[in-house]
Chain A
Amino acid sequence: MELELRGITKRFGAFTANDQISLKVEPGQIHSLLGENGAGKSTLMNVLFGLLRPDEGEILIDGVVTSITDSGEAVRRGIGMVHQHFMLVPVFSVTENVVLGFEPTKSLNRVDYRQATEDIHRLSRQFNLDVDPDAIVENLPVGLQQRVEILKALSHDAELLILDEPTAVLTPQEIDSLMEIMRSLAAAGKSILFITHKLKEVKAVADVITVIRQGRVVGTAEPSASESELASLMVGRDVRLTVEKTPYDPGDEVLEVRDLVVLDDRGLVAVNGVSLDVRAGEVLALAGVQGNGQTEFVEALVGMRPVQSGTITLHGRDITNLTPRQALDVGLGHIPEDRQRDGLVLTMSVADNLVLNTPRRAPFARHGTRNLSAVNENAQRLVRDFDIRTTSIQEPASSLSGGNQQKVIVARELSRSLEFLVASQPTRGLDVGSIEYVHRQIIEHRNRGNGSLIVSSELDEVLALGDRIAVMYEGRISGVVDPTASRESIGLLMAGHTTETASV
């Protein structure tokens, strides 16, 4: 499909999220959109998919002006969209999810499952999208769920596929296979609009790159451009892609974890006897493929999941099995993995979200009455310091772009005085400029002599931040290495080899 956007403008109140955006996607092309957090990429895609109505501009499909009034219309026009946040029904099977809303029917309006299953088999063969049509979605790892989303998007003969940050939650292996899939789709003549913040991915698959800043197209780039060129085009200034760290000079042990055992939601052992130390002035990066117990480990640290056995001490004080409140009070900072579930109240204002876990601390409240001017001042300051893009601190958090929502949490946690920082995927969904800033903040926190535990499935991040790198595999620590270790050796540890066998 040939798609052309001409002069698309979308306003939210007085704020212009898309300003006269024009771009063209050729058949068989992978067109990548690059842009800072809040640049307006998702807004543009939502306009294209009929979820938002543009205030100005037109959409041309194969040269014909087309009005897309809702997502059903978009689907009928051959557009498929994969939202970053999965829109799947967890308890339904793959087949049921794929046909949902467009079920093929037999007489008496019965769903024709055989037909549906056949369709899925055909599609998955055609594009190498291996999934079991009968599997229940909630039992699938994220990478496979992503495939189901793509199948769903393709199942209505989509000729244009929108992928809005599909790689944010995927493991490196899953990303590789997604890129393979994208290439084979493009080879089959499908057009793809691909949004990501990871410049490596853009360079690897994109045919054309359009850069958007503050709602406007600021230029196009060739995939051959260097990462730093792309980064500065995107952010409008030079970005350091590596963090500058002062030399590693660790102090005493701050956090000591001994033989920790934690269960997951189904009651199975997720963390199986983990022992770790984090010292003052040190960042310990916890690497590993998602789903190897990192989530449960972190939740146990911050009091959100009971510890079965083992101990956690902070500055020699036993903090095993604290309540979340107590964990906050002893000075644990927490950047949760699932920001919309645990980190934000989307319906509440940015200002309120910035004091979400400290509403009672001075100066935000006195004698049980909130001091709203202090809350607002705090918000004003953090919005400025952390460059949170919002039209007003009174806007609900839901109106922020994905990356800016993440910045709200990072700003909140790093701005209060912490004894120890626990961060899960702290830069997930952030643009390069914001990643630079957040990394600097974490390093400053370390330089003040505090300990941090950073969980990340992003190898680059692990290598950039970690003073030491612990790798978790199936609930155990498979090895602890220096950041000078090779990517390959860390990769082997992540696959379950132990330090001895992995040392290269």
Chain B
Amino acid sequence: MSETSPARPSLWVRYTSSSPLVVTFFALVLGLAFGALVIVTTTPAVLDAWRAIFHGWNGLPHALNLTFNNVGAAYRSMFTGSVVDPQGLWHSITTGNGWTNTLTPISETLTYATPLVIASIGVGIAFQTGLFNIGANGQAVTGGIAGAVVGSMLHMPEIVHLPLTLLAGIAGGMICGAVPGVLKAYTGAHEVIVTLMFNYVTYAFLLFMVLSTPFQQPGQQNDIGRTMDHSAQLAPLFGTSSGLRVSYGVFVAAAVVVFAWWLLNRSSLGFDFRVTGANPSAARASGINARSVIVVVFLISGGLAGLAGVVQVASTTHYVDGGFLIGNAGIGFTAITVALLGRNRPMGIVWSALLFAALGVGGRNMQATTGIPLDLATVIQSAIVLMVATPVLVKEIFRLRSAETTTVQLATTGWGS
């Protein structure tokens, strides 16, 4: 055959054809390239420069220059706003001053990523079981409310108050997750629809809580809840005076990662989850009770979303209001994409949550310094997820040797295969 591949594919070829990391990396590159295209087409000055080359090629250097400047500035501000500004870092190292400014970007990224990791892992566990928990946001909202109620209306020493607050958050999320779980297990109601609808229910519940119950901030007419006691808050890691918001919540997230890794890879329960997710018929034949798996998964998934909600409150605002986890702040929705990007694995989710957090935090800095709207970050996030969801496309674009996965799958489904 003229075009057979070499007898022993090179290490690189074998690596690229197998590792999802490679696909993710190239997806990131493509996402950024796509973002650049958006910048070019939406920044009038750049667009005009490109239009000018229709009148003569001598405008090309100018157009290219302008493009690189604009795109460069955008991405630079994204990076310095979410990771670190190299100049500031150098300044701090040499003079020992300005550490707060230098560390703020990374601190913000971590602050944003912390609840995101927790919620995404909850969603990822459900995905691995073949269940779609689209209601993580609602569960995070109930978790946040429950935590804020316990944190602000009960008063006790920190050693019990903080754990109790977190537990309340978990319980809140669990209750909210249990309903779709039970409905699915016992009536067959589709979890996507029920969980999706529950997001609205919880939002209404939130407004009710912050407007018309004793939980409303005393002396307020607005939609704002009581502020949590200090003993219930997740304190900043480097102390309140440091000015850095990153909190002890990162340890909560780390604990969740370890727990999820154990659950999925080492526990008997997680084994049941994965079997159910991969082949429900075989799960049944192997004696796995689908109903209890569904309910338990929704309890865990909802509980983690609730924990994410309470961590969010306890480490940042310390109160919930009518805008809690709404719109851009809807970590429960972002969690779905983050889980997908992280392939539902705990460590994968950590990386993808950090990426998403960095894009979000950096995007805000970009908006402030270059005027390019924050939505560009969302565009890039979406492009990356799209690319990751279609690995074939990425492999085709970058001419990675495609692993023969699809055909092999085809070839191994039969009796005779």
List residues of A whose CB falls within 8 A of some B CB: 9, 11, 13, 41-43, 46, 51-59, 65, 67, 69, 83-85, 164-166, 168-169, 195, 302, 304, 323-329, 334, 336, 340-348, 352, 356-357, 359-360, 365, 368-370, 372, 398-402, 428-429
Contacts and interface: CB of A to CB of B under 8 A. Distances in A.
Contacts of A360: 268
A215 to B, nearest CB: 15
A84 to B, nearest CB: 3
Contact of B278 (A168, A195, A329, A347): A347
Given A46-B407, A356-B282, A165 B416 contact: yes
A11 B5 CA distance: 11
16 contacts: A51-B407, A51-B410, A55-B7, A58-B1, A65-B1, A83-B413, A84-B417, A85-B413, A164-B414, A165-B415, A166-B416, A195-B416, A325-B288, A344-B279, A370-B271, A372-B266
Contacts of B271: 352, 359, 370
B275 A348 contact: yes
A58 B288 CA distance: 48
A150 B129 CA distance: 38
B160 to A, nearest CB: 27
B268 A54 contact: no
Query: Is the interface on chain B under 10, 10 to 19, 20 to 34, or 35 or more residues?
Result: 35 or more
A452 B287 CA distance: 20
Given A51-B407, A55-B5, A85 B417 contact: yes
Most chain B beta-carbon contacts within 10 A, residue among A65, A345, A357, A401: A345
Contacts of B417: 42, 83-85, 164, 401-402
Those 9 A-B pairs whose CB atoms lie nearest each other, nearest first: A165-B416, A85-B414, A84-B416, A325-B287, A357-B286, A84-B414, A164-B416, A84-B415, A342-B285
Contacts of A329: 287
Contacts of B275: 345, 348, 356
Contacts of B284: 304, 324, 342
Interface in B246-269: 262, 266-269
B403 to A, nearest CB: 11
B409 interface: yes
B411 A341 contact: no
Most chain A beta-carbon contacts within 10 A, residue among B2, B413, B417: B417
A197 B133 CA distance: 46
B272 interface: yes
A368 B414 CA distance: 35
B396 interface: no
Given A57-B1, A368-B269, 19 more contacts: A46-B407, A57-B4, A58-B1, A65-B1, A67-B1, A83-B414, A84-B414, A323-B287, A324-B287, A344-B282, A347-B278, A347-B279, A359-B271, A369-B266, A370-B266, A398-B409, A401-B417, A402-B416, A429-B416
B130 to A, nearest CB: 12
Contacts of A356: 275, 282, 286
A42 B410 CA distance: 11
B416 A341 contact: no
B4 A56 contact: yes
Contacts of B266: 369-370, 372
Contacts of B1: 54, 57-59, 65, 67
Contacts of A342: 281-282, 284-285
Nearest to A47: B411
A48 B29 CA distance: 37
B285 A324 contact: yes
B226 interface: no
A341 B279 CA distance: 7
Contacts of A365: 268
A399 B407 CA distance: 12
Contacts of A341: 279, 281-282
Contact of A323 (B269, B281, B289, B408): B289
A52 B403 CA distance: 10
A368 B267 contact: yes
Given A52-B408, A54-B1, A370 B268 contact: yes
Contacts of A165: 414-416
A52 B404 contact: yes
Given A53-B404, A169-B415, A369 B287 contact: no
B89 to A, nearest CB: 43
B194 to A, nearest CB: 26
B1 to A, nearest CB: 5
Contacts of B410: 51
A55 B286 CA distance: 39
B35 to A, nearest CB: 34
Contacts of B262: 369
A74 B288 CA distance: 43
Contacts of A347: 278-279
A65 B1 CA distance: 7
B416 A42 contact: yes
Interface string B154-174: 000000000000000000000
Contacts of A348: 274-275, 278
B328 interface: no
B412 interface: yes
Contacts of A164: 414, 416-417
Interface string B1-30: 111111100000010000000000000000
A165 B286 CA distance: 28
A52 B407 contact: yes
B141 to A, nearest CB: 31
Most chain A beta-carbon contacts within 10 A, residue among B5, B6, B281, B288: B281
Nearest to B414: A85
Nearest to B288: A325
B287 A328 contact: yes
A202 B164 CA distance: 73
Nearest to B409: A398
A46 B407 CA distance: 9
B2 A67 contact: yes
A325 B272 CA distance: 12
Contacts of B413: 83, 85, 340
Nearest to A329: B287
A73 B303 CA distance: 52
A429 B416 CA distance: 7
